[in-house]
Amino acid sequence: MDATRNEALEAWMDEHGYSSNSLADAVNRALEQLTGRTGGLDGSSVRDWKAGRVRWPKSATRKALEAVSGLPATGLGFVPRGRTSSTPVAPQEDPDMKRRTLVGGIAVAAAAAAAPGPARPRRIGMSDVGRLQQRFAEVIASDHRYGGQLDIEQRAAVLADEALNLQNAGSATQRVRSNLYGCAASFRSSAMWAAIDGRRYADAKAHMREAQALAEMSGDQAIKFRIWSHAGAMYRHIGRPAEAFAANDVARNLHITRRDPMFASLGLARQAAIHGAAQDRTGTRRALDQAQDALQRMDPDAYRPVWLLAFYDQAELNSLALSAFLALGDYQTAEFHAHHCLATLRPHMRRSHAITATRLAHAQLAQGDLEAAAATAMQVPVDAATQHARVSRMLQEFGAALRARAPRSSTAQTWTEHTRDAWKAAA
C-alpha cells in the first residue's frame, strides 16, 4: 500500500516556519539534550516523515520531536506501529496514555452517537480523556508561542468545564473519572498561568482555587506540582516572597520530586528565583546549584507530562537564574545566564525568548552599556512588545531607565522612535 502523506506534520511545520533541514537540526539538538548524543537526522529524514514513509519514528526521536513542538507524536500525525490512521485506537493501559491522542476512538464514538437505535447511556472512556489531553497539548503550544493572552486563558477555562461536564455525560470507571478531574485541573492550571503571565492576578487566584480542588480529586501528583509551583511564581511576581516560598514548598514536598529529579530541579530553580526576589544571595546560589545537580541526574527516558517536557530544560534553568540575579542586582551574572538561555532556547519558546531578551537588555543597561542594551531590546518582536503584558511593562521600565540615565543621548532618541513606530505598526 502506498504511503499516506503526513499532512498534520506538514501543516505544523508551515505554521511554525520550519523547513525539513531546520526541523532536523532542531530535533538533533533536542536529542543531544535528552540523550547526550548528537542526533543524526537530516532533511531527508524529515521528508520521509512528511511523505509517510516513516509513520512512527524511534522512541528517542519521538521524544525529541515532542520536546521541540510541545505536542505528542500522535498530534503531529504519526501513527503507532501496527495501526493505521483509519483504525480506531484502543484505550491504553500503559503510562504513556497521558500523552497519546486516540483519534480513531473519537471517530467511532461520534459515528455511534449518530447511528439510529434505542437511546442508551453513554460510556465515557479513555478515548474521551485522550481527546482532552490532545486539546491540552494545543493549549500548551499556544502558551509557549504567545503567552499571557486572554483568549488562551478563556479557552483553557472552557475546556476545564468541558472535562467536568463529561463526568455527568455517562457512566465511567473510577480510573476514567480520576483522569477527567486531572484534565480539568490541567486546563485550569493553564488558565491560571495565562492570567499570571498577563498580570491578571485576581483572575489567576480564582483559577488557582478551582485547579487545586480538581487536582485533589484527581490524585495526580504532577498536576498538583504544576499548580502549586505556578502559585509560587504568582506570589513572586506580585512581590510577596513569603507566600511564594510557602506555595513553592508545597510543590517541592510532593512525592513526585523524590521520584523524579526533573521535578525536583524545577522546584529548586523556582526557589532560587524567589530567593533572588527576597534578596537572599546565598539561598539563590545554593538552590541553583541543587537545581543543576538534579537536572544532571534525571533519567532522560522516564515518562513525564507534556507540559513539563515542553518547557523545562537547561535553558529554563538559566532563565530562572537570570531572573534571580537581576533581582539581586548582580547584573554581570544575570547577563551570563541570559546569553546561555538564549543560546539553547528551543524554537517554539517564542514567549520565553522575548522575556529573556528584555531581561538581558535591563542587565546590559544597568552595567552602563547603553547601545548594546537598546539593540537587545529592539530585537524583541513587536507582537510580544505590544501584546504580552509582562514584556510590555518591562520594556516600558527599560525605556524609563534609559531616559533617566542618558536623557539626551542618541540611544535614548533611537529607542523612543523605535517604540513609537512599533506601537503604530501594532495599532
Residues 213 and 99 in one domain: yes
DSSP state at residue 123: B
Pair 319, 229 in one domain: yes
Residues 68 and 93 in one domain: no
CA dist 427 and 419 (Å) reads 12
73-86 pLDDT per residue, tens: 888 888 887 655 44
pLDDT attached to residue 122: 75
Separation of alpha carbons 137 and 8, rounded Å: 14
Over pLDDT 90: what percentage of the chain? 60
Categorize the per-residue pLDDT at 92 as very low, low, confident or very high, splitting at 50, 70 and 90.
very low
User: What is the predicted pLDDT for the residue at 386?
Assistant: 86
pLDDT the model gives residue 106: 30
CA distance 414 to 402: 11
Percentage above 70 pLDDT, the chain: 88
Please say which residue of 219, 245, 267 terminates a domain. Answer: 219
pLDDT at 18: 78
- The Cα 151–Cα 148 span in angstroms is 9
d(CA 228, CA 216): 12
17 CB neighbour count, 10 Å cutoff = 9
Q: Mean of the pLDDT values across residues 52-79?
A: 85
Do residues 78 and 105 both lie within one domain? no
Cell of 39: 542526533
93-96 contacts, C-beta under 8 A, 24 or more apart: 95/303, 96/303
**b/e sequence 51-88, b meaning 16+ C-beta within 10 Å:** ebebbbbeebbbbbbbbbbbbbbbbbbbbeeeeeeeee
Q: Are residues 266 and 235 in the same domain?
A: yes
183 and 282 fall within a common domain: no
**75's grid cell:** 498530534
> What's the total number of domains in the chain?
4
Q: Are 97 and 126 contained in the same domain?
A: yes
Contacts of residue 327, Cβ cutoff 8 Å, sequence gap at least 6: 273, 276, 277, 279
Count how many residues are written for the chain: 427
Confidence of residue 222 (pLDDT cuts 50, 70, 90): very high
Distances in Å between the alpha carbon of 308 and those of 155, 204, 333? 20, 20, 26
Residue 83: what pLDDT? 54
Average pLDDT, the chain: 86
- The pLDDT value recorded for residue 120 is 55
CA distance 322 to 336: 8
Highest-scoring range by mean pLDDT, 13-22, 141-150, 343-352: 343-352
419: containing domain = 349-427
- On whether both 271 and 382 belong to a single domain, the answer is no
Boundary (domain end) residue, out of 317, 347, 377? 347
Instruction: Check whether 418 has a pLDDT greater than 70.
Output: yes
Give the pLDDT confidence score for residue 328 in this predicted structure. 97
Q: Give the cell for residue 295.
A: 537536572
- Final residue of a structural domain among 305, 330, 347: 347
Same domain, 52 and 103: no
To the nearest 10 degrees (0 to 180), the angle between helices 241-252 and 221-237 is 170
Q: Which three cell numbers, joined as nine digits, stand for 86?
A: 483509519
* Residue of 402 and 59 predicted with greater confidence: 402
Secondary structure (DSSP) of 23-66: HHHHHHHHHHHHHSS-----HHHHHHHHHTS-SS--HHHHHHHH
Q: Which of 166-170, 352-356, 416-420 has the highest mean pLDDT?
A: 352-356
Summarize the confidence of residues 127-151 as an average pLDDT: 89
| Per-residue pLDDT at 88 | 38
What's the mean pLDDT in 262-271?
98
| CB-based contacts of 223, cutoff 8 Å, min separation 6 | 182, 185, 186, 189, 211, 215, 305
Q: Can you tell me the distance from the alpha carbon of 131 to that of 149, in angstroms, rounded to the nearest whole number?
A: 23
CATH number for the domain that contains residue 28: 1.10.260
In which region does residue 147 sit, left (phi positive, over 0), alpha (psi from -120 to 50) or beta (all else)? Answer: left
CATH number for 339: 1.25.40.10
Tally Cβ neighbours within 10 Å of residue 292.
18
What was the pLDDT predicted at 245? 97
CA distances from 242 to 202, 248, 283, 377 (A): 18, 10, 14, 32
Q: Look at residue 90 in the predicted model and tell me its pLDDT.
A: 36
pLDDT digits (tens, 9 = 90+) for 288-300: 999 999 999 999 8
Residue that wins the pLDDT comparison between 323 and 60: 323
Question: Where is pLDDT greater, at 202 or 88?
Answer: 202
Pair 186, 206 in one domain: yes
pLDDT (tens digit per residue) in 157-181: 999 999 999 988 888 899 999 999 9
Q: If you ran DSSP here, which 8-state letter would residue 95 be given?
A: G
Task: Look at residue 118 and tell me whether its pLDDT is greater than 70.
Answer: no
Q: Say yes or no: 131 and 210 in one domain.
A: yes
Cα 23 to Cα 32: distance, rounded to the nearest angstrom: 14
Confidence at 12, pLDDT banded by 50, 70, 90? confident
d(CA 304, CA 326): 31
Nearest to 233 by CA among 281, 267, 282, 257: 267
123 has which bridge partners?
171
Which residue from 324, 313, 316 is spatially nearest to 282, judged by alpha carbons? 324
Q: How far apart are CA 329 and CA 363, in angstroms?
A: 9
Question: Both 200 and 229 in a single domain?
Answer: no
